Amino acid sequence: MTTYLVEDTNYMRDDSCTEESSVQKKKKPAWAPCFFIREDKEVYYYVGQKIIIQEGLDSYGGMIWPAALSLCHYLDTHREQLNLVDKTVLEIGAGTGLVSIVASLLGALVTATDLPEVLGNMRFNLSRNTRGHCRYTPQLAVLSWGYDLERTYPTSVYRYDYVLAADVVYHHDFLDELLVTMKHFCIPGTTLIWANKIRYEADLKFVENFKKAFHTTLLAEDEEMKIFIARSKEEER
């Protein structure tokens, strides 16, 4: 049984966002939001709402990654260019659910996906932050990259306006499967938005393969942080 911390209102507020914890002394980039911090819990403000994220520190999927913050900020500040109201959205590698929460608050019908062991904490975060605040209740589903996709997610049934991904490229052995998954869901009519911090040579290789697989545009960048928008090459045919 997973045990969750009961929300405590006794936070130490930092209105100017100048006081840093020991792990945050490095200067924040321009996209970093103001937030409060407490052990195992972080509080953000997007779409005019306080978002409380419970982290699960036992896995990569239980942590807030830098690109998730970057993508949330971009979605929140580019609402006219990327209007998510009444759009169907799939997030792959959703982790804590932060990006899916923001997309839901922006009016999208969201399906957040990840591995089975991650869904419990994600479900808690989604419910806590979207109940009573969204046009649509976000959905959760298991998605293993590259595995039997046409049987489990046939493209004739599972079609999305947007596919979102944040920091899904890091030091793991499933980059080929990840690209296969992106190509499976990014069909004509679908827009893929991928945010990632580029850390390793393997990341650069993935970027090259990503650009070969899709029509891509760099939406934003801040040093190693990049946000790409991509569409299927089949749309030209």
Secondary structure (DSSP) of 178-237: HHHHHHHH--TT-EEEEEEE--SHHHHHHHHHHHHHEEEEEEEEETTEEEEEEEEGGGG-
Is 21 a residue whose pLDDT tops 90? no
pTM of the model: 0.82
| pLDDT confidence of residue 236 | 61
Which residues contact residue 139 at a Cβ distance below 8 angstroms, ignoring those fewer than 6 apart? 110, 111, 112
Q: What is the mean pLDDT of the chain?
A: 84
Is 209 a residue whose pLDDT tops 70? yes
* Residue position matching structure tokens 């990014």: 186
Q: Which domains can be identified in the chain, with CATH numbers? A: 60-236 (3.40.50.150)
* Helix intervals (H) in the chain: 66-77, 98-105, 116-130, 149-152, 175-185, 201-213
Is 37 a residue whose pLDDT tops 60? no
| pLDDT confidence of residue 172 | 75
- Mean pLDDT over 5-17 rounds to 32
Residue 31: strand, helix, or coil: coil
Task: Identify whether the C-beta of residue 103 lies closer than 8 Å to the C-beta of residue 111.
Answer: no
At residue 17's C-alpha, the angle toward residues 25 and 62, to 5°, is 65
Is 88 a residue whose pLDDT tops 80? yes
pLDDT in tens, 90-126: 999 999 999 999 999 999 999 999 999 999 999 999 9
| pLDDT confidence of residue 24 | 38
Is 226 a residue whose pLDDT tops 60? yes
For residue 67, which amino acid is it? A
CA 82, CA 216: separation in Å to the nearest integer?
A: 16
- Mean pLDDT over 177-189 rounds to 97
Task: Identify whether the C-beta of residue 130 lies closer than 8 Å to the C-beta of residue 101.
Answer: yes
- Mean pLDDT over 180-202 rounds to 95
| pLDDT confidence of residue 56 | 78
- Hey, how many other C-beta atoms are within 10 angstroms of the C-beta on 167? 24
Q: How many residues does the structure list for the chain?
A: 237
Is 200 a residue whose pLDDT tops 80? yes
Percent of the chain predicted with pLDDT > 70: 81
- Mean pLDDT over 146-157 rounds to 94
Higher pLDDT, 199 or 130: 130
| pLDDT confidence of residue 202 | 87
Higher pLDDT, 164 or 33: 164
Q: Which of 62, 66, 120 is nearest to 93 (CA)?
A: 62
- Mean pLDDT over 27-41 rounds to 46
Residue 52: strand, helix, or coil: strand
Q: Which of 75, 141, 62 is nearest to 102 (CA)?
A: 75
Is 77 a residue whose pLDDT tops 50? yes
